Amino acid sequence: QSVLTQPPSVSGAPGQRVTISCTGGSSNIGADNGIHWYQQVPGAPPKLLIYDKTNRPSGVPDRFSGSKSGASASLAITGLQAEDEADYYCQAYDSSLSGWVFGGGTKLTVL
Amino acid sequence: QVTLRESGPALVKPTQTLTLTCTFSGFSLSTSGMSVSWIRQPPGKALEWLALIDWDADKYYSTSLKTRLTISKDASKNQVVLTMTNMDTVDTATYYCARIRNPGYGMDVWGQGTTVTVSS
């Protein structure tokens, strides 16, 4: 059972907008402790998609955006493309565990 | 160009100790703010954070695994080593190392991972 809770799967048609939620608690997301998002396609290592809640590393399209409200964070993907089909993970630092935690992952299917 | 590469045995027996090495280039682990982390992923399952060592040699461990893990660095060789004792079949996974160039910036560069199978 992950400390951060994500929906197991989401789906959307090409061109649509989807959001992936990540729910934690007061010791991680609620504490604003470095919330990040990763994209992982099968057979490849994860790729940093969003860091520090809302920031995109160089090269990540602006179709990807992050937000946070209370003890939950969200990843939004607009203009869905077939290449976006992947697993997505949220991550945060947990002050009560004195370490980093990942969400259980969300599989995005592009219909 | 920043790269990281994991190396270690592909197969270990139950109760044995696993030693993995992360060899990196393109950055210095002596630079303030820099750190290297280990993460694993069992087949078909989610990512699990294991350990981190920073530029100041401070070490952090997963609460659930800390009694079995040791992380160390050799700055002169640009290597970070993770040992995990008392291996079990549930430890079968792909093990990744990743760089964090600043505590708030996430794991921005990952190695390709090394697959470890625990079986007798």
Structure confidence at residue A1 (pLDDT):
77
Q: Which of A31, A42, A4, A34 is nearest to A20 (CA)?
A: A4
Mind listing the pLDDT tens digit for each residue in A53-84? 999 999 999 999 999 999 999 999 999 999 99
Average pLDDT of chain A, as a whole number:
96
- The pLDDT of residue B42 is 98
A98 touches chain B (CB under 8 A): yes
Give how far A109 is from chain B: nearest CA, Å.
16
Q: For the residues A33-38, what does the mean pLDDT come to? A: 92
pLDDT at A11 over 80: yes
pLDDT in tens, A93-111: 999 999 999 999 999 999 9
CB A96 within 8 A of CB A29: no
Q: Put residue B35 in one of left, alpha, beta given phi > 0 → left and psi -120 to 50 → alpha.
A: beta
Nearest to A89 among B46, B61, B112 (CB): B46
